[in-house]
Chain A
Amino acid sequence: MAKILIVEDDADLVETYTDLLEINHHSVSSVTRAVDAFGLVTRFKPHIVLLDLNLAGYSGAIVISMIRNYPLLKQTKIVVITGHPEMLRGDPNAAHVDLILSKPISNERLLSVVDECLASAS
């Protein structure tokens, strides 16, 4: 079982990911704005963050640097799931991401990515 934080501004997509992950026995928290991720990520201490980039206000990229600058979250895997993977091109934050996936992502792929992240962390 993994603790997974979803940072995604489409409420329906958050519900869909949450249903899929919870049905597969993972523990899920979610926020729709990058600014709300700051407090939650330090309390929830997720194993994996599923991160959208094109968010309202602050870009999802700011969440990457925040997690990587927080020592207690050193082991947290960051998986970017975006419709615009080119947004990270040339961004130094790209080097701190474990995986970049393009939307849409199949259920099978998402679950296997979660399994791979858990396996590589243990």
Chain B
Amino acid sequence: MANSEITSDFIHLLRKFGHDMRVPLNTLISTSDMLVQGAYDALTPKQEKAATRLQRNSYRLLAILDDFVTYIKASEGELDISLKSFDIKEKLESWATPMKPILDSKNISLIIETTESAPMIVSDENLLKRIIQALLWNATSFTESGEIWVSAEYFPDSKWLIHIKDTGTGIPSQDLPHLFEPFWRGEARPQVPTAGAGLGLPLARVLAQVLKGEVKLEKTSSSGTHFCVELAVQPQTNL
């Protein structure tokens, strides 16, 4: 009883916190967007660089806030699930779009494959997107060359396995026990600012659990890392 009261109060507090943070963030995002778009007159190259930095970090702050609130709500079973059918290959391609400029700049090939004649997947599109994007950002951040390979495997009436493999340098063994700890910062760090903070992998895992699935580290070595998202097959829906 006491725990549920604390949880309820805590969630309420978080919702208020999230709302109160979003108001000034909205101003930051809108103003920095307008600055970058030249709405307050043309900027010098130096001003444009500074405004872009402001804009990027406003969105970064929003991503951190969103990840944090989502992580707490998911951990407390407060997240709503909305199942629908969709084409997983099409979505994987769309979800990888934000990483493409960084992948192109590093000359990393992105390969997306799915089991031939796989049916539409039934899942929560938004939650699955966040899981896959967290794993893709992780792969993108820690791979300097080679390729990132994403594949969705369908096992009839049983499960979906979505693999994310990279040719990065792997995860140091001392970091492995902490991999899914919120805000854990390991030996290896991305040198470019990415969306979110230290919640990528923990958030992916907790969201997969909300979908009655799991995120597993299959393998990591000096030649790459392989994560796998396992999801039980849900009954087809007309939605």
List the interface of chain A (C-beta within 8 A of B): 9-12, 15-16, 19, 32, 54-57
A9 with B191: CB separation less than 8 A:
yes
Contact B193 A56 (CB under 8 A): no
Nearest to A9 among chain B residues (CB) is: B189
22 A-B residue pairs with CB within 8 Å: A9-B189, A9-B191, A10-B193, A11-B191, A11-B192, A11-B193, A12-B53, A12-B56, A12-B57, A12-B193, A15-B49, A15-B53, A16-B53, A19-B50, A32-B191, A54-B185, A55-B189, A56-B185, A56-B187, A56-B188, A56-B189, A57-B187
CA distance A16 to B57 in the complex (A): 11
Taking CB atoms, residues of chain B closer than 8 Å to A12 are 53, 56-57, 193
> B191's closest neighbor in chain A, by CB?
A32
Give the Cβ gap from B169 to chain A, nearest Cβ, in Å.
12
How many Å from the CB of B55 to the closest CB on chain A? 11
| Majority secondary structure, B binding face | loop
Instruction: Give chain A residues whose Cβ lies under 8 Å from the Cβ of B192.
Output: 11
A15 to B56, CA, bound (A): 13
Query: Residues on B close to A: CB < 8 A?
Result: 49-50, 53, 56-57, 185, 187-189, 191-193
Q: What does DSSP make chain A's interface, helix, strand, loop or mixed?
A: loop
Residues of A within 8 A of B189 (CB): 9, 55-56
CB distance from A59 to the nearest CB of B (A): 11
CA distance A119 to B189 in the complex (A): 36
A7 to chain B, nearest CB (A): 14
* Besides A55-B189, A56-B188, 15 other A-B contacts (C-beta < 8 A): A9-B189, A11-B191, A11-B192, A11-B193, A12-B56, A12-B57, A12-B193, A15-B49, A15-B53, A16-B53, A32-B191, A56-B185, A56-B187, A56-B189, A57-B187
Q: CB-CB < 8 A to B49: which residues of A?
A: 15
Docked Cα-Cα span, A16 to B56, in Å, equals 13
Closest 9 CB pairs between A and B? A56-B189, A12-B53, A12-B193, A12-B57, A57-B187, A15-B53, A32-B191, A9-B189, A11-B193
In Å, the complex CA distance between A16 and B189 comes to 20
Q: Which residue of A lies closest to B53 (CB)?
A: A12
* B residues in contact with A32, CB < 8 Å: 191
B239 to chain A, nearest CB (A): 41
B53 CB contacts on chain A under 8 angstroms: 12, 15-16
A17, chain B: closest CB distance, angstroms: 12
Report the bound CA distance from A15 to B51 in whole Å.
12
Give A19 to B47 CA distance when docked, in angstroms. 11
Query: Complex: how many Å from CA A32 to CA B53?
Result: 17
Closest Cβ–Cβ distance, residue B188 to chain A (whole Å): 7
CA distance A15 to B192 in the complex (A): 12
A54 to B183, CA, bound (A): 12
In the complex formed, the residue of B with least CB distance to A58 is B187
Cα(A55)–Cα(B185), bound, Å: 9
Q: A55 to B186, alpha carbons, bound, how many Å?
A: 9
Closest to B57 in A: A12
